[in-house]
Amino acid sequence: MQEQQDPKQRIMRIAADLFSCRGYGLVGVREIAQKANVNISMISYYFNGKMGILRAIIESFFENYFEIIKANYDPALPPEDSLKKLIKAIIEFMRENREEALVMFSQLHIDEPEIRELKVQKVQKMFTFFHGLIRQFGVDPAQRRQQVAIFGPALISTLFSTFLLQPIAKGIFKIEYDDKFYDEYVNLISLYVLDGIHGVQRYMNEREA
């Protein structure tokens, strides 16, 4: 079995599940080892402690995230189509890696020096990937640093919000987070980014007609 063959990946998966549910600070190394069915010394061997696990989760998340962006950003497409394709790919990636994504975004506040520097490097690289797309819309990121600093995090938060708020939203709206939901999510978020609330309103009116 894969779990028996790869204890390092099992530790990361179990830790991501625990961190995403309860937060990094409330989870102990002993609990991770117990649930991953490994000796606690393995955590020291592979990660040098709990902080090392968090670092490994963040690095793994971004490595796969960058691959998704590179594979799905197509500058040959019109900018609107290019953006929608990228949004769809990012949402699908977050859907498949929800626990890791939750750890990544919910633990951004951790201010340990090694984690802070890692986050700066990875987020900086992430924004660099988006510069080409921004230029497709006639905006030079180098000349609009303040605006990009405002809109960039807002866009990322918008894409991620449903995953962070999902447990609450389920209780409020009584909906299923299935393929149909995520298809609609891609459509509405893409429209919202491109045309704002008026674009979403037009889309909803057309669906009702």
pLDDT at 203: 75
With respect to residue 13, please indicate whether it lies within any of the assigned structural domains: no
Tell me the CA distances in angstroms from 68 to 126, 148, 167, 191, one per residue in order.
11, 22, 26, 21
Q: How many domains does the chain have?
A: 1
Name, in order, each residue with C-beta under 8 angstroms of 192's C-beta and a sequence gap of 6 or more.
Answer: 158, 199, 200
Tokens of 3: 């779990």
At residue 197, the pLDDT reads 77
pLDDT for the residue numbered 109: 61
Give a yes or no: residue 110 inside a domain. Answer: yes
Q: What is the mean pLDDT of each run of 10 residues along the chain (209 residues)?
A: 71 94 90 94 94 92 90 89 91 91 74 78 80 83 82 81 84 89 90 81 77
Percent of the chain that is helix, strand, coil (3-state, to 5):
85, 0, 15
| Residue 172 in domain | yes
pLDDT computed for residue 209 by the predictor: 64
Whether 154 maps to a domain, the answer reads: yes
Which has the closest alpha carbon to 135: 150, 122, 148? 148
What's the confidence (pLDDT) of residue 64? 92
d(CA 201, CA 204): 5
- Kindly report the CATH number assigned to the domain that includes residue 193: 1.10.357
| Residue 129 resides in a domain | yes
Question: Which pTM was predicted?
Answer: 0.82
Q: Compute the distance between CA of residue 80 and CA of residue 91 in angstroms, rounded to an integer.
A: 17
Domain presence at residue 198 = yes
Question: Does residue 50 lie within any of the structural domains?
Answer: no
Is residue 70 assigned to a domain?
yes
Range of the domain at 151: 57-208
